[in-house]
Amino acid sequence: MKIGVIAVQGDVREHLRALERLGVKAVAVRKPADLEGVAGLVFPGGESTAIWRLLKWSGLVEPIEQLHRSGIPFFGTCAGMILLAREIVNWPERFFGFIDIAVERNASGRQVDSFETELEVKGVGRVPAVFIRAPYIRRVGPGVEVLAECQGHPVMAREGKVLVASFHPELTEDLRVYELFLTMCG
């Protein structure tokens, strides 16, 4: 199985390593040709506005939209979740809008407010979670399943073939969240 990781900005290397540890062929996606043959696509954490501008500059927006229409699964972490959300409550732009959630950027606080905890993830169990200036989900649409909460806020959700998490599973040794995504990639 070949999984792409958007590699224009953010914590790309960590996602690639996690996927490779599961025996997956993980490829860094910097241009449209890199999407050829992927069974799934990961949108890493980083800075959502910078990632969006670089995606547009590199010509990746339309090919990614085509992959979404074709049913390829997507997994967005932190900034990746913001990119995939239908609405951003504290930002004037909207990006892809592939999952019916509203998110608030940097809802967990500033960089100095970053923290680690354990979450109960539906269908997975307790997993370690690293939150860095994390967005929180403020609204979920009727077709969205909340998979985990933190401090009373949804922080992981799935709708169809789109999985999102406010936290950074790539910064832990636990690979079960990736295994959940890979089952979606089938």
Query: Would the pLDDT of 34 be above 80?
Result: yes
Enclosing domain of residue 93? 2-185
pLDDT at 113: 59
pLDDT in tens, 145-179: 999 999 899 999 999 999 999 999 999 999 999 99
CB neighbours of residue 42 within 10 Å: 27
Q: How many domains does the chain have?
A: 1
pLDDT band at 90 (very low <50, low <70, confident <90, very high): confident
The residues carrying an active-site annotation are 78, 168, 170
Q: State the CATH number of the domain containing residue 109.
A: 3.40.50.880
pLDDT band at 72 (very low <50, low <70, confident <90, very high): very high
Whether residue 5 contacts residue 15, with contact meaning beta carbons closer than 8 Å, is answered with yes
